[in-house]
Amino acid sequence: MGQWKTAAFRELQSSLTTVLGAATAKAFLGLQCSTLSDLLRLLPRHLMSGTDLTDIAGLIQDNRGSEEYVALMARVARMELKGSVPRQRLEVRLTDGKGWLTATFFGRASLIAYWQKALSRSDRGIFAGKLGWFNDTAQLAHPAFVMITPEGFVGSEQGTKMAARVARSSFIGLYPQTSKLATWTVAESIDLGLAQIAAVSDPMPGWVADAADVVEMQTAFRYVHAPTSLEEFEAGKKRLLFDEAFAAQTVMAYRRADSAAHPATPRPSRQDGLRARFDARLPFTLTEEQVDVGRVIEEDLARSHPMQRLLQGEVGSGKTVVALRAMLTVVDAGGQAVLLAPTEVLAAQHAATITALMGDLAADGLLGGPESIQVVLLTGSMTAAAKGAVAAQIASGQAGIIIGTHAVLSRGLSFADLGLVVIDEQHRFGVEQRSSLSDRGPTHPHSLVMTATPIPRSVAMTVFGDLDVSTLTQLPAGRGEVTTTVVDQIRHPGWVERAWQRAREEVAQGHQVYVVAPRIDPTDADQGASVTQLAQMLTAGPLSGVRLAVLHSRLPSSEKAEVMAGFAAGTVDVLVATSMIEVGLDQPNASMMIIVDAQWFGVSQLHQLRGRIGRGSAPGVCLLLTDAEEGSASRDRLDLVASTRDGFVLANADLAQRREGDVLGTNQSGRRGALRLLSVLDHAELIQTARDIAAQVVARDPQMTDPGVSDYVSEIVARADLAD
């Protein structure tokens, strides 16, 4: 996109060095601003009228424990000199009428006298500085300030730069700041940026602005940085939010159109093939959702353009069976199917699960043979000879189902007729990796990507907007109930002892137990328990005599395979592991999980880990051991996980806590976070509007020949790294 590079594009992508000078531009890198567009799209964190005051209690809570640079508007309630010359200091009590915060000034006597005089000119001002902590009490150390008086502004030299700006607006914008950039320096720089684009026309096509009901670009920038009403600010913000949403959705819409334009070999289902025989031998009944999703996938596979589908499923909802049925449909039609997993452990588990499900259908045989197909495993740790043998089977077509890790993505690997690519745990693969197998034959293969992490609708539209989405929420019949309890290690140490006793009881009843720790080695005591220390403690103490094994990513592949096989066979009673077991492991006999220092895991990760138990008929119990204090964010997270097994409720809560930086970061795009203003949680309706308009753009201009749309989208894409 954007090969035209219009004047608007070039101006907005101007380096800040040319606008602000090298020194100031360098300081703005701390706010992720390197271009004029970055600067102008930097919104105030707080917009305050002449009478508003900052919620001090909320500010302190939001920054508790961290040392952030903050800006706030508050009243001066009291000033007091402390100490004696020459080590005198001025302590200023700031308030919003409810909360309190102390600002401390240090300096020679003449400066303290000046500050006292300036602070006395008004009881209301803006203070900006580093929020520090002393005895768990927040304080501002030597903040810059400006007092707002009827005659104007007085205060520190930098603070008075706010005067002209505030005089033009009914509101004061408090911007993000760093140690090198005060909020008023940011505001002054934005004024320079606004002047720079005074003559630049709006790159957004007029019909798009009308359809989205947004103001033009110049107006939007003025509204967000110098509003005369809250309505103006919201209108300007809506335009900038729409810019990001529309750019993302247009990129996705063209990806969908590009995929549809490529040919794919239709893989219609057969009523008398391997898939039918597989269905007949299943020892359980498919859920209604599994049948419905399978039917949709069949319809996709029968078409002459590539299926691009995301299958999201609740933990234990049977995604693997749905994927296997799709793979067998493709094999019935003469093609090969690949299942790509992010780790060797998961790939090996898939190979074992699929082989067990297929039984004698997975015996040696030729591709498309009437009785069976060959299932092969390809991983990076295999010997060169083993890899070569498997590669030959794949190239000849002897291998019908290929299960592997990133090794399958090797450009040197050839396929006889690749018909379907299934990617498990898609969030472990970037966009480029997800599409790297699309050009391995005369036609594009169909694609099915899977995740066991439920994805809110707005995230699916934004991150996976190029994919159709299917969802599994039903759990197979006969699964045991799983209860989750938070165990406070500090207040109830006896409960920890009881947890290990309960583990022994589960083993005595013939069940198996997972014990999970956040680290492998005891290298950093501040990051939770380690697997190696925990295993030693349990072996020598509460679980002595129990058959215990350790599993983590640093073990040799052969040792990992041996441990996994032992747990699957029941010769290992307790598996002490890291979070590498969070996906793929399917041991119906496992009835208990103890997660030590659970506060070091995220909501979705805890939900995934818990999904390893309760996969058989026996009820399961999950214990979350923690020393997190009640009322803390970490403890609230654990209490939330314990309160529900609904993955979609947890996914929304997880997104609300982590925001989009992690959800849309390098795991999804291979780059830094794509969205700066847009919240996929809060702006779902706006995203849907952008998606609808983006579809119209593609319909009007399928080849992207309009420089207006191309450069408008490219400007946002260049800023947000949304493109491949």
What's the CA gap between 61 and 234, in Å, rounded?
A: 26
Q: pLDDT tens for residues 402-435? A: 999 988 988 889 999 999 999 987 555 555 555 6
Torsion on CA atoms 431, 437, 442, 445, rounded to nearest 10: -80
* Helix/strand/coil for 582: coil
- Give the mean pLDDT of the chain: 83
Residues in the chain: 724
| Domain 46-174 and domain 274-443 have a common topology | no
pTM comes to: 0.69
Contact 328, 357 (CB under 8 A): no
Q: What is the mean pLDDT of residues 291-314?
A: 93
With residues binned 3-state (H G I as helix, E B as strand, rest as coil), the percentages for the chain, rounded to 5, are 45, 20, 35
For the chain, which residues make up each domain, given as ranges?
A: 46-174, 274-443, 482-646
Helix, strand counts (H, E) of the chain: 28, 21
Confidence band for 671, pLDDT divided at 50, 70 and 90: very low
- Does the pLDDT at position 724 exceed 80? no
Please tell me the least confidently modeled range out of 66-80, 463-477, 587-601, 705-719. 705-719
pLDDT at 228: 85
Cis ω for the linkage preceding 86 (within 30 of 0)? yes
- Does the pLDDT at position 598 exceed 90? yes
pLDDT at 276: 93
What's the CA gap between 149 and 76, in Å, rounded?
A: 13
What's the CA gap between 483 and 89, in Å, rounded?
A: 56
Structure tokens at 651: 């996914």
Q: What is the mean pLDDT of residues 246-250?
A: 87
pLDDT at 152: 56
pLDDT at 411: 82
- Does the pLDDT at position 503 exceed 50? yes
- Decide yes or no: CATH 1.10.150.530 for domain 482-646: no
Q: What is the mean pLDDT of residues 588-594?
A: 94
Tell me which of 84 and 303 has the higher pLDDT: 303
> What does the radius of gyration of the chain's CA atoms come to, in whole angstroms?
30
Tell me the H-state helices in 143-273.
Answer: 162-167, 183-196, 206-212, 217-225, 230-261
pLDDT at 366: 41
What's the CA gap between 216 and 213, in Å, rounded?
A: 10
pLDDT at 163: 52
Tokens 């000119």 map to which residue? 121
Tell me which of 152 and 472 has the higher pLDDT: 472
- Decide yes or no: CATH 3.40.50.300 for domain 274-443: yes
pLDDT at 428: 55
pLDDT at 160: 53
Cβ of 333: how many Cβ atoms within 10 Å? 21
pLDDT at 496: 93
Query: What's the CATH class of domain 46-174?
Result: mainly beta
- Does the pLDDT at position 65 exceed 90? no
pLDDT at 673: 40
What's the CA gap between 563 and 575, in Å, rounded?
A: 8
Q: pLDDT tens for residues 353-373? A: 899 889 888 864 344 445 678
- Does the pLDDT at position 595 exceed 50? yes
The pairing of beta strand 137-149 with beta strand 46-49? unpaired
pLDDT at 451: 82
**With pLDDT > 70 as the criterion, what percentage of the chain qualifies?**
86
- Does the pLDDT at position 398 exceed 60? yes
Handedness of CA 639, 641, 645, 651 (dihedral sign): positive
Bridge partners (DSSP) of residue 337 are: 401, 420
Q: What is the mean pLDDT of residues 572-585?
A: 86
Contact 93, 102 (CB under 8 A): yes
Q: In what order do the strands lie in the sheet with 590-595?
A: 482-488, 620-626, 590-595, 512-516, 574-577, 548-551
Q: pLDDT tens for residues 1-38? A: 445 566 777 788 888 998 899 999 999 998 889 989 89
**With pLDDT > 90 as the criterion, what percentage of the chain qualifies?**
38
Q: pLDDT tens for residues 325-348? A: 999 999 999 999 999 988 888 888
